[in-house]
């Protein structure tokens, strides 16, 4: 079932994300899987695919503000 839109969030400044550190923190809030290129997090409703430079594709959001809010809450970069 499609719950909403998929929106890309791009940080103001590219970063080098430490997937291992982030994955340990996110596992408390949902499912996490990662490889050397992406980290995918699912909280039961929203899926965030995070890239090494901090960009993220966030699925099942209602608008850009919703996507940015989830990014800030879970990723916090």
Task: Give the span between the Cα atoms of 51 and 4, in whole angstroms.
Answer: 21
Give the C-alpha distances (Å, rounded to integers) separating 60 from 15, 20, 34, 36, 39: 25, 25, 20, 25, 17
Q: 19: domain CATH number?
A: 3.30.310
- What is the Cβ-side half-sphere exposure of residue 25, based on CA atoms within 13 angstroms? 10
Domain of 31, in residue numbers = 5-75
Q: How many domains does the chain contain in total?
A: 1
- Give the pLDDT of residue 4: 86
- Give the pLDDT of residue 68: 96
Question: 4-47, pLDDT tens digit by residue?
Answer: 899 999 998 889 999 999 999 999 999 999 999 999 999 999 99
- Give the pLDDT of residue 39: 98
- Strands (DSSP E) found in the chain: 5-9, 31-34, 38-42, 47-51, 56-61
- Give the pLDDT of residue 1: 44
- Give the pLDDT of residue 3: 65
């Amino acid at each position: 079932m499609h719950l909403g839109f998929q929106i890309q969030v791009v940080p103001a400044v590219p970063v080098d994300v430490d997937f291992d550190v982030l994955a340990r923190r996110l596992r408390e809030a949902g499912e996490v899987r990662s490889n050397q290129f992406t980290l995918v997090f699912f909280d039961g409703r929203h899926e965030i695919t995070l890239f090494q430079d901090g960009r993220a594709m966030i699925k099942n959001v209602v608008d850009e503000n919703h996507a940015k809010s989830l990014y800030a809450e879970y990723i916090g970069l």
